[in-house]
Chains A and B, each alone.
Chain A
Amino acid sequence: MSLLSVENLSIEYRSRRGVVRAVRNTSFELGAGKTLGVVGESGCGKSTLAMGVLGLLPPTAVVASGAVKLGNRDLVTLDSESLRALRWRKMAYVPQSAMNSLNPVARLRDQFAEIWRAHGGARNGVRHKAEALFVRVGLDPRRLQSYPHELSGGMRQRAIIAMALMFEPELLVADEPTTGLDVIVQRGVLNLLRRLQAEERMSVIFVSHDIAVVAELCEHVAVMYAGEIVELGPARAIFGAPCHPYTMGLEQAFPDIRDPMRTLVSIAGTPPRLDRRLDGCPFTARCPFAVERCRVEKPAPRAIAPGHVVACHFAAEGESNRKRAREPLVWQRGETA
């Protein structure tokens, strides 16, 4: 049985101005010790999905339908005290900007102690543990005395990763953990994550808009567009032989070291608005292969190979579509939604 099972999850933001359906009917499974990358452009709903899984949605967002099963417990319907008990012990979170996630007026060692105590830990146990964790992530344990603002961005990120490992959780959700860091620091954090992933038997959900990073770190990838998962499968398949036109477009948009002179593609147009009904396939307006059927009939996710799911009417024609996708001009028909 898989560790995490998300079933038909839909999340909406409700405000005076209307309802925005940020995540629509998404489903995936994550096995123990496996990594899943979630990629997509800004606003596709990947962060909302991550927060939804963790139960950390802001007050304006609600889970409209679906289930998030950790083991055999549905986190969506769980009472708040049970959910709280699961937090950090079973599922940890490494946020987008550690800069602002640490309490500015408390020393790091006190923040460790705070979490330790909240989960029933004895007073004395935490000091050694925190020091050991810092060493594991490559930080000087003396830094535990510091305040967050006294550390650099990269160091803060490592500190948060150290915190996340405190109870050796089964699930780790990292939301753009390297965004905002310079390239060298980014490399350091990624290497750290890869090492830890190998050492722990932790399942990781890695959210990022940088598919190069995801390709390096994750065994499985989910590609999101306009709140829906349009393609889901092993990283090798997704990046080697993508079947959804959007994934193809993404791939063409990133430089490839094997073909440095290839013209990069920019998919013309913009994603559709999420506050309106979306009939048919959300990618229709920008898809080079779209036909009338795409506009009216929403493609259901279908498995075209074991563990590889695609939501496209023409998933079977992957090979020929891929050939056409390599021409940049094919992507220019996109309209602004």
Chain B
Amino acid sequence: MRFWPFLGRRLIQTVITLFAVVTLMWALFRLIPGDPTTVFLGTGELPPDAVAALRKSWGLDAPLWQQYLDYLRNLITGNLGLSFYYRRPVLEILLPMLWNTLLLMGFAVTAATLVGIAVGSWLGWRRGDKTEQIGTLLVLIPRALPIFWIGILLQMAFAYGLGWFPIGGMRTPAFIPETRLEQLPGYDLGVHMVLPLLAAVIYFVTDPLMIMRTSMLEVAGDDFVTFARATGLRERRVRHLARRNAILPVLTYTAIMVSFAFGGQVLLEVVFSWPGMGRLMVSSVTQRDYPVAQAAFFFMAVVVIVLNLVLDMLYAVLDPRITYE
């Protein structure tokens, strides 16, 4: 099987990319004009020997290459340092937030992709009739909306205005379910997720939709669709076969979408006060709590890069025409 060497090669590539990103981040924090102490601790109001002592305690007086190696060693052993602000290990603070973020983002990306594929393939199959043309134009609108504005508008309308959904947060503190509906497991979480999820889906659905539509249009004109119809397959089955072939470009795009999804996630977590990594990152940057900021960013990059790898593998499995090289 030529699959395993391919996997091996991609793994190595992934590790190199991760390595490069980690180094880039580290270099960024070190080489930006100004010392990390002045940038993150305030503007030189400390007496010089206090500054020197602090720098020594964080190993900031060691030569650069030494600092770099220490950093790497710490990373691998899972030591992400101590938060300046919270005085606790960064990992401890970050991990619960990570799950919250992945939860919301996971649902958002999945929902957006599925809806995009469904609507996109429906539009593409219709090949240029009026419905399709209007639909295509309508789809362009959400792409231009800033995601945080969508969130705010939803908040204004449905939370502040109609009161149907909570304004923000992930759970209701001390929630006591009363009605049958409220007693369903996950109800509280679900209710809190509706608005941010809706905002995310509205924003992220457009790209997979358009890609699927274009892909479907191309495939619909392919010879094998005509032939499939000639063999007497039901129209629904023919459309399914077309969709199965058209879906491949959307998968490639999903990796890129996740990268953008993190950006959207940061904004939505701020708007809806969702206790996730995005919001933590913004607040830690504002507070100059650089170990937390760096770690949060690192996690996001890791997720994106690993997901790239997973999707590459998935694509290779789904499209047998790919030669492993």
Contacts and interface: CB of A to CB of B under 8 A. Distances in A.
Contacts of A59: 127
Nearest to A51: B226
B321 A119 contact: no
Interface of B: 127, 221-224, 226-235, 237, 241, 244-245, 318-321
23 contacts: A54-B230, A58-B221, A58-B226, A84-B234, A86-B232, A87-B230, A88-B231, A93-B230, A95-B227, A95-B230, A96-B223, A97-B223, A100-B224, A101-B223, A101-B227, A102-B227, A103-B224, A104-B245, A114-B231, A114-B237, A118-B233, A147-B320, A149-B321
B222 A118 contact: no
Interface residues of A, number: 29
Contacts of A149: 320-321
| Chief secondary structure at chain B's binding surface | helix
Contact of B223 (A84, A92, A95): A95
Interface string A216-242: 000000000000000000000000000
Contact of B233 (A56, A89, A92, A115): A115
Contacts of B223: 95-97, 100-101
Contacts of B235: 80
A105 interface: yes
B66 to A, nearest CB: 53
Contacts of A100: 222-224
A163 interface: yes
Given A104-B321, A147-B320, A56 B232 contact: no
A151 to B, nearest CB: 13
Contacts of A93: 227, 230-231
B320 A105 contact: yes
Contacts of A95: 223, 226-227, 230
Contacts of B230: 54, 56, 87-88, 92-93, 95
A212 interface: no
Nearest to A167: B232
Given A100-B222, A104-B321, A119 B227 contact: no
Contact of A105 (B127, B226, B229, B318): B318
Contacts of B227: 93, 95, 101-102
A104 B223 CA distance: 11
A85 interface: yes
Contacts of B321: 104-105, 147, 149
A104 B231 CA distance: 16
Interface string A69-91: 00000000000100011111100
A163 B228 CA distance: 11
B245 A114 contact: no
Query: Which 7 pairs between the two chains have the least Cβ-Cβ distance?
Result: A87-B232, A100-B223, A101-B227, A93-B230, A88-B232, A115-B231, A118-B233
Interface in A144-202: 147, 149, 163
Contacts of B241: 103
A100 B222 CA distance: 7
A59 B128 CA distance: 11
A40 B315 CA distance: 44
A68 B20 CA distance: 68
Contacts of B245: 103-105
A192 to B, nearest CB: 19
A204 B222 CA distance: 25
A163 B319 contact: no
B150 to A, nearest CB: 37
Contacts of B318: 105
A85 B241 CA distance: 19
